[in-house]
Chains A and B, each alone.
Chain A
Amino acid sequence: MLRAFALILLNLIALPAVAGTLSFVVVDATGQPIADAVVLAPVGSSSGEPIRFDWKYEMSQQDRMFQPHVLIVPLGSTVGFPNHDRFRHHVYSFSKGNRFEIELYGRDESRTVQFSHPGIIAVGCNIHDDMLGYIHVVETQYVGQSGVDGMVEMSLPGVGNTLQVWTPSVPQNYVSIPLPPTGDDPLKLVFEAGFKSASWRPAG
């Protein structure tokens, strides 16, 4: 009985982690790689195991820019907003559920905000209109983010059959696409013009 329970428990822990990895390029309709694209594999309600990513939950301001431009953090995490510029910033977001405002703070000052709602947070600076950053508050371990070459490497949970993708070009929502067909052929994820939909194509 105990052995059986232990097996089930093992399975429960092990299943999402062992489905495999996926690697592909995100390109736009003209074939140009898209940087800072975000790919999520939704896994439903959490098993309780806390989600952790191996990057800092931090969006610093440097040279009048948010660094990184796009940040993925687990739900409930606290994100730091350190200022590395010589001048002050007034960081804010009006995104639903995660609205915050960090009024003027100076160099090497850091403020933190805890995000308790999943979603996409557009972050701006009231002083510098051209400063823009995005924070994805997610409820899944299985995420990927493209580099400047558009490459994404991510692991898959083994459950579910859709992925959610996002680009800075359409920052309000995610686009759902099915999982790619299994096989060894390299793939690319192509966004249609307008970035409202995407599909898989063989790479090359």
Chain B
Amino acid sequence: VTFSHLSTRLAVLFGTLFAAVLLAVSMVVFFSVRTGAHAQVNREFAATVDLYKKLWTVSEEQLSDNAQIAAKDFGFRSAVATEDAPTIESALGNLSDRLDLKLAGVVLANGTAVNLPQEFVRATDLQNVLEANERSAGMLELGGRQYLAVSEPVLAPNRVGWVIFGTEIGSGSLSELESLSTIDLHAQIARPNAISRSFGNSITSATPLDSFLGTAMYALVLDYPMSKALAPYRGMFAAIVLAGAGGLILLGFGASFVARTVTSPIAALDAAAERLGSGEAFELEVQSQDEVGRLAQGFLSMAERIAVREADILKLSITDPETELPNRRALMARINELNGQDTDWCVAAFGIERFETIRDVIGQDATNLVVTQIAKELANTENASIVGRLSSAVLCVVFKGIPLESLEQRIRTLGLTRPHPVVLSRETVDVQLTAGLSDSRTATRMDALDTAVAALRQARCAQLPILVFDEVAFGDPSGTLSLMSDMIAGLSDDSIFVHYQPKLNCKSGRIESAEALVRWTHPRLGRIAPDRFITIAEETGHIRPLTEHVIRQVLQEQKLMAASGLNLSIAVNLSGRLVGDDDFIEWLLCTLEHRSGLSFEITETAVISDFAAALRNLNRLRAAGYETSIDDYGVGLSSLSYLKQIPASELKIDKHFIENLEPNSADALLVKSTIDLAHRLGMKVTCEGVEDQMTLDLLRLMGADFIQGFFISKPMPSSELVSISGSAPKSLYAQ
């Protein structure tokens, strides 16, 4: 059982204990009283039974004496011996009167009854009973009355009959017995079947009595009502009940007193704790000096300490710990404030250039001082509402009541982004800031601070000292993740498909191969640039399913093209991330099933992380008969060291070098020497991005092996490629 109030719990606990003790005491008293009463009544019974037995014995002896005297009387004997019934009857009548007998009769030796019902003698087999005993004595029931009867043989001189005398022991003698007892008991003579009835609420004793006939058993039954036995103790029971009731009332007062003095301060404390928990203000008065008082005191000081700590935490939560400048949360709070004031505001993110270098040179503490110093300078700018620190190298100022254009102009005018010295106590640090600006308008859809930081990044990329956030250039990074799930969906609904761009073999002058290029027509966004979604797929780990899809597509379409009479070797792009993936290469070799006519172009060689694994896998592909090319050679981070290590059979020179190729230009020199270098290393060279005849001719002269570009053909679906090849001069396409 749970209680929501301490006072209830105390009241119930004490009440239960009190009731249990009271009940136990009552039980003990009741049972001992009952046992005592029982014993007392039983003692009284024993005395009464004793008395009755004495009375019985006296009566029996008296009867027996009288019967003997009668039986010895010569005249009586003469009458019995001669079976003189009238004389016997008159003699018995005379004796009854004289001795006050209730029963006087004779049974003759031949069984004849005199002054007794003959029927009774026959039914009880009285003659045999008398013959069996010298004398009989005991209870005799005759004609509905109960007698104490004795018998005496009549000898004349041999036995000629029996005289039977009896005295009635009905209600009269028993009520006399009852009146002799000190308690108001009830006495009766009962047969066994009558004795066995239930005396549930009485104390009963049954004392067997002799039976005259020896057959029927009789008992003196004494009973005394339990209620009468307990009557003297009624007052005591009432006193106990009264004491119990009084105790419960006292307990009630006690519980309410306890509630007042103990539980109400605790309840107040409870309520205060509740308010403290929910951060509300509360008042708590300490009233006593006991444990509860000390508890309240302790609670109050704890609450104070909590308040101090809460303030600290609050301050920490809106403060940069290193410089104690407001942090991002504080800036956001200010922006929210300004949003509510219906006023123009702008955000400028100032990036400290070469921050790491400065920190490495002058140390963390001095750097913090530099940052604080810069923040101070920025805070002095007009319209600056708050200066905070967004990250270690980025400070952010929220300007109030100034349009973005004016702000940009003012920053330029003030030369905030020009390199300038910051003077510390011992040294001077040259600092340059780059600024990214954003305002409430751009912030309607995106976080103002994020956009400012993005503008800062854009400015740095563009090598500009100051730039306003360009939403178009930034794109929508939040679309990236959904784009990937859309892409996975596109893999199964044909919105991602493969186009093929033919490559011209300069030696044979024929189209013998083509590069497979993945395309995606997004159902909602339309065509998506392959560079974009492939980059995201590489970064998010979705490149493998995309590549697998392309490979399956290529295998299928290559078969279809071959069926249409167009046999092309197809080059499939493999991301550098996949080359190092043993599992993928395993899948690839399984899927290819030793098909020929496929090669792989390794893109983004820079991202090969496990170079040993990549080499092993490239060698496996080569051993299986698949050639590999190094794609986009010359841009990015592909290096000569790759060229040396990677077992590629072909080098694809990036279109940047080809697009504006002029004879005798630097590009021409680079391309020519690269072609030579590749040939020396035993590799073929493909040049991408060829868009005119002149470039084609120039590259041929330089010794390029394959030419790829819009001048040869734009990428197209396999079906289109098949139809073009059908209409083209027969010699151009490999058959």
Contacts and interface: CB of A to CB of B under 8 A. Distances in A.
Given A94-B78, A94-B81, A131 B157 contact: yes
Contacts of B74: 92, 126
B73 to A, nearest CB: 10
A124 B157 contact: yes
Interface residues of A, number: 13
Contacts of A92: 74
A145 B633 CA distance: 170
B72 A94 contact: no
A91 to B, nearest CB: 10
Contacts of A171: 158
B78 A129 contact: no
A99 B84 CA distance: 14
Given A94-B82, A126-B74, A129-B72, A172 B157 contact: no
A46 to B, nearest CB: 29
A121 B483 CA distance: 151
Given A94-B78, A122-B158, A172 B72 contact: no
Interface string A93-104: 010000100000
Interface in B65-107: 72, 74, 77-78, 81-82
Nearest to B71: A129
Contacts of B156: 94, 122, 124
Interface in A77-133: 92, 94, 99, 122-126, 129, 131-132
Contacts of B77: 94
B251 interface: no
Contacts of A172: 109, 158
Interface string A131-142: 110000000000
A136 to B, nearest CB: 14
Interface residues on B, range: 10 to 19
Contacts of A123: 157
A187 to B, nearest CB: 30
Contact of A124 (B82, B109, B155): B155
B152 to A, nearest CB: 12
A99 to B, nearest CB: 8
Interface in B154-173: 155-158, 160
B158 A132 contact: yes
A19 to B, nearest CB: 34
A123 B81 CA distance: 12
A124 B155 CA distance: 9
Contacts of B109: 172
| Residue with the greatest number of chain B CB neighbours at <10 A, chosen from A94, A124, A129, A131 | A94
Nearest to A131: B157
B569 to A, nearest CB: 144
Contacts of A125: 157
A126 B155 CA distance: 10
Nearest to B156: A94
A198 B109 CA distance: 22
A7 to B, nearest CB: 49
A152 B555 CA distance: 152
Nearest to B79: A94
Contacts of B78: 94
Nearest to B81: A94
B82 A129 contact: no
Contacts of B160: 94
A38 to B, nearest CB: 15
Nearest to B110: A172
A129 B158 contact: no
Contacts of A124: 155-158
Interface string B334-366: 000000000000000000000000000000000
B706 to A, nearest CB: 152
| Residue with the greatest number of chain A CB neighbours at <10 A, chosen from B72, B74, B156, B157 | B157
A16 B511 CA distance: 181
A190 to B, nearest CB: 23
Nearest to A128: B157
Contacts of B81: 94
A119 B158 CA distance: 15
A94 to B, nearest CB: 3
A72 to B, nearest CB: 18
A55 B156 CA distance: 27
Contacts of A94: 77-78, 81-82, 156, 160
Interface string B618-631: 00000000000000
A166 to B, nearest CB: 13
Contacts of A132: 157-158
| Residue with the greatest number of chain A CB neighbours at <10 A, chosen from B72, B82, B158, B160 | B158
Contacts of B82: 94, 99
Nearest to B157: A124
Nearest to A133: B157
Interface in B434-468: none
Contacts of B158: 122, 124, 132, 171-172
A134 to B, nearest CB: 8
A131 B158 CA distance: 10
B78 to A, nearest CB: 6
B712 to A, nearest CB: 155
8 contacts: A92-B74, A94-B81, A94-B156, A124-B158, A129-B72, A131-B157, A132-B157, A172-B109
Given A132-B157, A172-B109, 11 more contacts: A92-B74, A94-B81, A94-B82, A99-B82, A122-B157, A123-B157, A124-B155, A125-B157, A129-B155, A131-B157, A132-B158
Going nearest first, the 6 A-B pairs with the smallest beta carbon separation are A124-B157, A94-B81, A122-B158, A132-B157, A126-B74, A171-B158
